[in-house]
Structures are given as structure tokens and as C-alpha cells.
Amino acid sequence: MPRGTAGTTPAAQRRRRTTRGRSDTGSVIGQITQLVSTNETLKAENAELRAVNEQLRAQLLEIGSALGRLTGAPRRRGRRGAEPIAIAEARPKRQRRPITDPEQIERRRAALAKARAARAEKLAAARAAASERE
């Protein structure tokens, strides 16, 4: 590398790299800022939707109890009005622990094989009965 050429001194090279690094950092910071603002907007919208959902649930329960009072009184014994509609909450699926005992694994495999064989036998009998009817 020849000495004295413009723009090739180590200081000039460092300056160019830092300028490029700052612009990359600036774009990353801009993206992060945009993501944060979008996230805050979505949080506010989510809170608003939850509030609307709660209002609609309350209205649904009110309508259900009113309908029960109007239509359910003569048919039911010992009750006045309808019970409020219970809206089931979705529970997360239970996480099962893996089976590590080799004997138990083998017993389960044998039970599955036996159940599959019984099911195949049942299907074959049903098919044979269906073909005899035709």
C-alpha cells in the first residue's frame, strides 16, 4: 500500500468505518424505535378490545338471564329464571412428563398393539357384514 495517498491513512480508514458503523447503528435504533411504538399501539388496542369483550360478555349474560326469565319459568321446577350462561375459559393443555421406564414403555407398546389388533378385527368384521348385505 503506497504511503501518502489521500484517504488511505489509518485515521481516514477508522473514520470511514465509524461513519458506516454509526449509520448502521442509527438504522437499527430507528427500527427498534419503530417496533417499540408499534408495540405500544398494539398494547393500547389490545386493552381496548379486552374492555369491549368484557362489556359484550356482560351483555350476553344479561340477555341470557332475561331469556331464561321469559321462557324458562313454566318448564323448570323449583327454579326462578335461568342460571347465567357459564362461558368456559380455555385452559392450557397439561404438560405430561415423558415416560422413561423401559418396562412401562414396553407395556404401553403391547397395549397399543393389542388395541390396534382389536380395532382392525372389528373393522374387518364390519366390512364382512356390509359386503354380505349387498
Q: What is the pLDDT of residues 56-104, one digit of tens each?
A: 999 998 888 888 777 765 555 555 554 555 666 778 888 888 889 999 9
- Residue 40 confidence (pLDDT): 95
Has residue 63 been placed in a domain? Answer: yes
pLDDT top residue among 113 and 134:
113
**pLDDT tops 70 at residue 110:** yes
**pLDDT tops 80 at residue 28:** yes
Has residue 94 been placed in a domain? Answer: no
Q: Quick check: 99 and 105 in contact, CB under 8 A?
A: yes
Has residue 44 been placed in a domain? Answer: yes
Has residue 3 been placed in a domain? Answer: no
Has residue 97 been placed in a domain? Answer: no
Has residue 23 been placed in a domain? Answer: yes
98, amino acid identity: P
Q: Are residues 80 and 15 in the same domain?
A: yes
Please report, rounded to a whole number, the percentage of residues in the chain having pLDDT higher than 70.
71
Q: Are residues 45 and 82 in the same domain?
A: yes
Q: Are residues 81 and 122 in the same domain?
A: no
**Cβ contacts of 81 within 8 Å, gap of 6 or more:** 65, 68, 69, 72, 73
3-state secondary structure the chain: CCCCCCCCCHHHHHHHHHHHHHHHHHHHHHHHHHHHHHHHHHHHHHHHHHHHHHHHHHHHHHHHHHHHHHHCCCCCCCCCCCCCCCCCCCCCCCCCCCCCCHHHHHHHHHHHHHHHHHHHHHHHHHHHHHHHHC
Q: Are residues 17 and 82 in the same domain?
A: yes
Q: Are residues 134 and 83 in the same domain?
A: no
Can you tell me the mean pLDDT for 124-133?
A: 89
Question: How many independent structural domains does the chain possess?
Answer: 2
The range of the structural domain enclosing residue 128 comes to 102-134
Give pLDDT tens digits for 37-48: 999 999 999 999
